[in-house]
Amino acid sequence: MQCPYYDAERCLSCTWMGRPYADQLAAKQDLCADLLADHHDLAWLEPVASREEGFRNKAKMVVGGTVDAPTLGILDAAGVGVDLQGCGLYPASLSATFPVLTAFVTLARLEPYDVPARRGELKHLLLTESPDGDLMLRFVLRSQEAVARIRKHLPWLRVQLPRLVVASVNLLPEHKAVLEGEREILLTEDETLRMRVNGLDLHLRPQSFFQTNTDVAAALYRQAAAWVDEAAPSSVWDLYCGVGGFALHVADGSRDVVGVETSAEAVASATLTARDAGLPRTTFRADDATAFAVGASPADVPDLVVVNPPRRGIGPELAGWLERSGVETVVYSSCNARSLARDLAAMPSLRPVRGRVLDMFPQTTHYEVVTLLTRDAVA
């Protein structure tokens, strides 16, 4: 893939842009294999490739420029907006919404936030597209000053974007480099975007996390589900479950599945999906994954645990609990093989026997790697 923004040095976010895709995939595979080289029984499956472009299901656009000439993209080193509406990582269906959104900024008189001057209202536009083409749009504002105007002109926007299902305002009053704030104001009757993945309708609320690459996320869930079915556990915990992607894929009505996630929004989404899918033995809790596991009674310890932590990994406390818990099987999905390697070193009784790299983020160094761990009685 070639990118004119990268070639012109207007955006250098994709650090592997222009590198042959086969080389990218091989480099990610080699990195993970090298970092986990101490585990001699680990057999690697073929890596899962992605489309090289047009794979993103969400756009996180910093709004710059002026009310009458807004930019959607990033900010340069001086805090000036760089317009990236032609970015090739977005599918055409998502890119087609950007001119409408810039027109809406002007129509509703939403003043872009000027970072150096600390002045203005609209900080980001966060847009997510489902596999069916439906849209969720979030306006990240500094205050509620513009909410009434957004409500007033929202009917116009929905005419221009008839697949817009969910719209909300997120309030981020602080001047700091984060994407969103804590408070969300829903603007539409519908509260969730349905993400159809492997036949499941995962409900995504405005503050819920979902993987950026839907096709590769679907492959990740299929791989985990295959390993879980092979292990045939009667009970499963999905820690750091998000909107329940892993938990809902391994729930078949024959086993008890519990998902744990700190985000109450994500738990509400997962609970709704479980209800719609008719999975009464699948439940979700808003709790810290480590605290939940460490505080459980021995009688509640499941046969199998799925963990999908952030980049820092599960950490020594949860790794230590897994090591001494007696859990027979762990499926560990990681976006950082370095923290994965540290966590595996803290769980010597749980031996990685299979692994697979999934290219969630082409043109960058990022990836997902999933490993199957089984308890070694002689460790």
Find out whether 220 and 277 touch, Cβ atoms under 8 Å.
no
**Which residue in this structure is represented by tokens 């599960």?**
314
Question: What amino acid occupies position 338?
Answer: R
Spatial separation of the C-alpha atoms in residues 128 and 62, rounded to whole Å: 15
Spatial separation of the C-alpha atoms in residues 113 and 201, rounded to whole Å: 36
From the candidates 32, 87, 241, 335, which is the catalytic residue? 335
Look up 11 and say whether it is catalytic: no
Which residues are paired to 59 by β-bridges? 127
Phi, then psi, of 247 in degrees rounded to 5: -55, -45
Spatial separation of the C-alpha atoms in residues 132 and 185, rounded to whole Å: 25
Q: Which two tokens stand for residue 95?
A: 């890119």
Residue ranges of the alpha helices (H) in the chain?
A: 4-7, 21-35, 92-95, 98-107, 147-160, 214-231, 245-250, 264-277, 289-294, 315-325, 337-345
Q: Which residues are catalytic?
A: 335
